[in-house]
Every structure is written in C-alpha cells, then in structure tokens.
Amino acid sequence: MVPTTDRFGVALSDVVRCAACGHMQLAQMPPEAALDEAYAAAQSADYVAEEAGQRATAAAVLARVEAHVKGRRLLDLGCWVGFLLAQARSRGWEATGVEPSDFASSFARERLGLDVRTADLFGAGLPDGAFDAVVLGDVLEHLPRPGEALDRVAALLAPGGVLCLMLPDAGSRVARAMGARWWSVIPTHVQYFTRTSLRRLLERHGYRVLEIDTQPKAFTVRYYLSRISGYSPPAGRALVRTAERLGVADRLWAPDFRDRMLVVARGPG
C-alpha cells in the first residue's frame, strides 16, 4: 500500500455510512502498522514542484487561524515538506512540525531549515500546553482513531488555543454526485467526514467550533489537469499538453469545488 492521489475510487474496504450524521468510514480498518509503514515511506516530488501554490494556500489558512488566536506558537502535525510552516515562520510564528515521512521531514529540515520531527502524532514527544495553534491539514481522514488524536491535540494546546483542520468534505454536492469515483476516495483515506459528523466529533471531545468554510487549494493548471490521469491517463496527458501549448500550464489556479472544508475550533478548557 502506497499513499497516493492518483488512484481515485480505490478504497481498501467497503465504506459504511452513519444514517444519523452521514459520516463514513472503512468497514474494516487496515492494520495501523501497515499505515504507519506506508506514511514513513511516502515520497513525492509533485508538491515540492508546487511550492508557490502551497505557500499561497498556507497564507490563506494562517490568516484564518490568526483571526482567532493571539499567541505565535504553532504546531503542524503531518506537515509534509513544510511549506505551511515556512510561511508561518515568515509571518512571525514560532513553528514546529511533525511528519512521519522520512523524505518529507528531511526536506523540511535540510532545504527549509525548519524544526520538524520525524514521528507520528503520538510518538513525537511534544510538551503539553506548548502551542497556541495546531494545524492538521489532510490528516484526520487518514487516522483509524481520530478521537484519540483530538484528545492528544487538546493536551498540546495552551489555554485558549485553537485547532485548524483541513480535509475533504464527504457531504458536499460533488462528493455525493461522484460517489465512489470521487477523487478523495483513495487507499489511505479511512474516514470520510461531513460537516455534521466532524462538528459532532469535535464537540464530543470538548472543542468549540468557531468556523467552518470551504478550503480551495492553489496549484498550477498543469497539476490540476494532470490529476485527470487518476481517471484516464491519456486524457490527463492530452489536457496538460493543451495547456502547455496555450501557455497557461504554469499559472496558479485555486478552483473551489466546495468539497474541502476548513474548520477552526477552540480547544477544551
């Protein structure tokens, strides 16, 4: 099993749905050791090449966080190659990251000079109450035990601190229309949150939701068109070639399909 974003419509098990809140998850969770091994070995040059868009997306996220907290100690759990952390540092944050991928965490340390630990959420050895904001971007949907992760984050937050989540919205119109062929149905997604189910989970673990909104990502036109290869490789290649001929392949594009959500929540206590 390899973490991927180009095998759309592939889940590791049947997906079951809660009739009350719309939350979906795998009927049979993969072994956590297998997931841990997959994330530790994950590597991709795609996001590295998309630095400008990643930084633009990070700036928009950080602006939402900064509206709710005064402190400047930030933790990014699952920070990948560290572009959000680098952007936070440039905005005056004291930024720390945790990332299980050897490739990504090494890039963040060696190329960007960031404080990033190669570990998972539960093994990073971070001090309690040390952070004014914690970010989990495209993380919660990968966790078999998301409630335990939220409890750990609560312990890491300082009084008045906030959690910022970015993740796919399985209750969106796009997700419902596409069903099993939705591009967020990939092998390492084990949870499929809706706005309702995520709010309920947060409140059950003591968080107070401050805002929920969509969260478009900025990538080049080339990157977005290349994702079509997850459905049809020839079509993806043809669209990229067309964009190159038109001279628009390297333009930044942030379409809002309204199937991603950004949630900011005040920590317990």
For residue 34, what pLDDT is reported?
A: 87
* SS3 state at 93: coil
pLDDT tens for the chain, 269 residues long, are 344 455 688 888 999 999 988 999 999 999 988 888 989 999 988 889 999 999 999 999 999 999 999 999 999 999 999 999 999 999 999 999 999 999 999 999 999 999 999 999 888 999 999 999 999 999 999 999 999 999 999 999 999 999 999 999 999 999 999 999 999 999 989 999 999 999 999 999 999 999 999 999 999 999 999 999 989 999 999 999 999 999 999 999 999 999 999 999 999 97
Q: Which residue has the tokens 């993380």?
A: 139
Residue 155 CA neighbour count, 13 Å, CB half: 11
Distance (Å, whole) CA 96 – CA 86? 10
What is the model's pLDDT at position 122? 87
Q: What predicted TM-score, i.e. pTM, was given to this entire model? A: 0.95
Give the other-Cβ count within 10 Å of 26's Cβ.
Answer: 17
Express each pLDDT in 17-63 by its tens digit: 999 889 999 999 999 888 889 899 999 888 899 999 999 999 999 99
Confidence (pLDDT) at 6 = 57
pLDDT averaged over every residue in the chain: 94
All structural domains of the chain with their residue ranges: 15-217+257-266, 219-253
* Residue 92 zone, left/alpha/beta (φ > 0; ψ -120 to 50; rest): left
**The three-state (H, E, C) secondary structure of 98-150, written as one string:** ECCCHHHHHHHHHCCCCEEECCCCCCCCCCCCCEEEEEEECCHHHCCCHHHHH
H/E stretch holding 96 reads strand 94-98
Please check whether residue 23 is in contact with residue 210, taking contact to mean a CB–CB distance below 8 angstroms: no
CATH of domain 15-217+257-266: 3.40.50.150
Distance CA 128, CA 96 (A): 14
Instruction: Measure the CA–CA gap between 242 and 159, rounded to whole angstroms.
Output: 52
